[in-house]
Each structure stands twice: as C-alpha cells, then as structure tokens.
Amino acid sequence: MKKFIIVGKGLAAHCLMHQFYRHNINFVCIGEASLSTSSKVAAGIWNPVVFKRMTASWMADVLVPSLESFYSDCEKRLNTTLIHSRQLIKPFTEDQEKVLWQKKAAAGLNAFLDTNIYDPQSEHHALIIKNQYGLVKQAGNLNINAFIDAGEEYFKANIITEVFDYTSLSIHPNHVSYKNIEAENILFCEGYLVKNNPYFKWIPLVPAKGETLIIRGLGLGLKDFIFNKDGFVMDLGNDHYKVGATYEWKELNDKTSTKGLKSLEDKIQRISQAPYQIVKQEAGVRPSSLDRRPIIGKHPKYPHLHIFNGLGAKGVMLAPFFTENFVHFYLQKTGLHPEVDVKRFYQLYEPSA
Ligand SMILES: Cc1cc2nc3c(=O)[nH]c(=O)nc-3n(C[C@H](O)[C@H](O)[C@H](O)COP(=O)(O)OP(=O)(O)OC[C@H]3O[C@@H](n4cnc5c(N)ncnc54)[C@H](O)[C@@H]3O)c2cc1C
C-alpha cells in the first residue's frame, strides 16, 4: 500500500513529490497537465518585497532561504540548473516612494533593498526608465518548466498521466482506493480546478487569470535583472523576454485573449521603443485564496483526504516551505502553520459533500 496518492501535476504536486522522496514516503502521482496551465506559464519569479505597502512579503525572511535550499537540492537530484538569482529593478513613480525606499533600506528591509538609488538610463540603458530606481536583493526566478519536465522524468515510475476520476475514489475507514491503487492518504493539488473536486470544492479560492508574452528582439540585456513595474520583463536568453502578467477575475480559463495581448503590448511600449516579434502568448489561472494564504490540511470529515492549494501568485516562494510543513505535519513532527491550515475554513463545509 502507498502512503499517498497525489492528484495534480503542477508546481505543488512536483514540490510534494520531492519532499516525499526526501522523507522516504512512498507515493503515486496522478495528473493530466493539460487541464490547467498555471504552473507551465508562470514566470517563476520570487520577490521578497510588497511594493504597494513597501513591506516584506509574508514570511519572506523564512521563505527565501527555504526556497533557495529546496530548489538547490532539486537541482542536484535532477542534475540541471533551475534557479537564477537576479535583482529586481524597481523604478520610482514619485519622490515619496524613493524617500520611503531609502528609509526602509536603512532599517527594516535592509536584507531585501539595495541602499543605492540609481539614475535613469544609468546602467540598464536599453530600458526606458524615466525616474530613478532601486534594486531588490534576494530575488530571482525558478525555471518552472524545467523543474516540472525534469521531475516528470525523474519520478516517471511513480507518475500516472490521466484525468483523475473522482467517482473511482473509495474512502475506507483507514485508507482510500482509486481503481487498483490502495493508499493510506490522498492529497489533492488541482490548483483552481479544485472547483470540480466533490470533497474540497467548498474551499474559498478567488482565482485570477493571467496572460504573458514571450517576445524576441528588444535587445535589453537584462541577464541578471528582472524589470518590475506594472508587471515584469524577464530575460530568457538569446534576446528572448517574458513579459507579464495580466490579472482577470471573470473569464477563468487558459485561453489567450486580444484584451490580454493589448495590455501586454502597451506594457512593452512603455519600457522600450525597439522593434520586437511575438513568439508566444500564454494564459493560466492562479489558484489564489480568499485570505491570500495557502490552504493545506485534512478534510473535516475524512481524515485520509488532504488538500494543498491556494498558492496564488507566489507559488514559487510558498511551495518549498509549506510542502515541508505538510510532510512534518504528516509525520507528526510539527503542526501546520495556523495561517495555512484548512481548518480556518471548516465552517464553509457542508457535511453532505
Ligand atoms: C500568468 C501567470 C504568471 C505567474 N507568475 C508567477 C511568478 O512569477 N511567480 C510565482 O511564484 N507564481 C507565479 N504564478 C502563479 C503560479 O503559477 C502558481 O502559484 C502555481 O503554479 C500553482 O501551482 P499548483 O500546482 O497549485 O496549481 P496548477 O499549476 O494549476 O496545477 C494543478 C495541476 O493539477 C492538474 N489537475 C487538475 N485537476 C485534475 C484532474 N481532475 N485530473 C488530473 N489532473 C488534474 C492540472 O492539469 C495541473 O497540472 C503565475 C501564474 C500565472 C497564471
């Protein structure tokens, strides 16, 4: 009998596979990646600062070291480069913003904000930066596609590629069974498609669709930097750039739109006048939660059913620490972090489900 069936094939499922492997917990993963493309289209950026409030991102001091150590360990296991540390270029729109930046860089956010203020056009000259700007430290990006593709290969003996059929799941007093697989537990990581899961459809997600472009030809030379203003521009190598992302809460699907395209092209116009070609437009739906925290833990009625969801727009930062938290919780070494425990939403569960 397996210890776990994991359902899903996105970032959450892949981080869990590595954590289970590290802790010698046997598992089978069932997923069909084409159902939801959020992880596949994500830029994979981690940013420890919330610019709107000029504060550290929730738990950034813990999450950044945790992600660096986790993905480095995965790099060794998968024998490929996955993470790239880069500074974020953050232009100031007004003087007050600069003053606040300087204050926070001196104390409070000194771990994450460079104390220097840079003049427009000084160093990153191919970008149109009208005002002065600052640099965020301890940021970077994970190549999520490479992480998932290499994980698919590494764990291929444990992965079944198929659409999970909820009607084939049987719940027994001490285990679950799915078709011919028996396991002590099942862990659902379907992203926003949890809305189709009869056992967990009540968890309060507020999914947000996002679109991105891959373009060629701006000649920005942003290799060790990510431009961050109303979204991002990230160098992919060979004069290719990823530009994003839009936010849309009504049309929740993985289809690209002309509205998304226009918004992204406008973004590019504001930062460079160089000619470029569009290589690809992509879309996905972020599994964001009502209170912007992950949603993790046991089903209120069936203790062998578990959920790992709600990674929202920050999955790359959140997944390493909280997949480990989940495993420690399962091994009864620690409790779940109270702000992520699905228990906080138990009042939304109707026992018929
Ligand atoms: C445009 C865009 C840009 C983003 N940029 C960033 C970024 O820069 N940094 C960052 O940290 N995050 C970013 N995100 C968010 C990031 O994508 C998510 O936090 C993360 O990928 C969510 O992973 P997940 O595994 O929870 O969900 P998903 O990626 O949605 O994965 C769910 C998986 O479950 C599968 N599945 C669902 N139902 C079934 C079923 N019944 N049977 C079989 N399989 C099933 C799906 O096909 C999919 O493979 C971005 C998202 C978007 C849309």
Condensed to tens digits (0 to 9), the pLDDT of residues 154-190 reads 999 999 999 999 999 999 999 999 999 999 999 999 9
**Do 244 and 231 touch, CB atoms closer than 8 A?**
yes
Which tokens go with 155? 């764990």
Q: Could you tell me if 348 and 203 are in contact, meaning their C-beta atoms sit under 8 angstroms apart? A: yes
225-256 pLDDT tens trace: 999 988 999 999 999 999 999 999 999 999 99
Q: Which atom of ligand 1 is nearest to the CA of 192?
A: 30
Chain centre to alpha carbon of residue 242:
16
> Residue 128: pLDDT above 80?
no
Domain count for the chain, please give it: 2
- Which of 45, 147, 159, 190 to probe ligand 1 with, by most ligand atoms within 8 A of CB? 190
In a domain, 92, yes or no: no
Nearest residue by C-alpha to atom 51 in ligand 1: 42
Residue 225: which domain range?
A: 208-286
- Ligand 1 neighbourhood includes 164 CB (under 6 angstroms): yes
| CA-proximal residue: ligand 1, atom 38 (nearest) | 190
CA distance 222 to 225: 5
Q: Is residue 310 part of a domain?
A: yes
Do 166 and 220 sit in the same domain of this protein?
A: no
- pTM tops 0.95: yes
Task: Decide: 40 and 145 in contact? Cβ < 8 Å.
Answer: yes
User: Does residue 312 belong to any structural domain of this protein?
Assistant: yes
Q: Alpha-carbon distance 20 to 327, whole Å?
A: 7
How many of the other CB atoms lie within 10 Å of CB of 237?
A: 7
- What does the mean pLDDT of the chain come to? 95
We report the CATH number of the domain holding residue 278 as: 3.30.9.10
* 56 token code pair: 């550290």
Residues 178 and 235 in one domain: no
Q: Which helix (H) or strand (E) holds 329?
A: helix 315-330
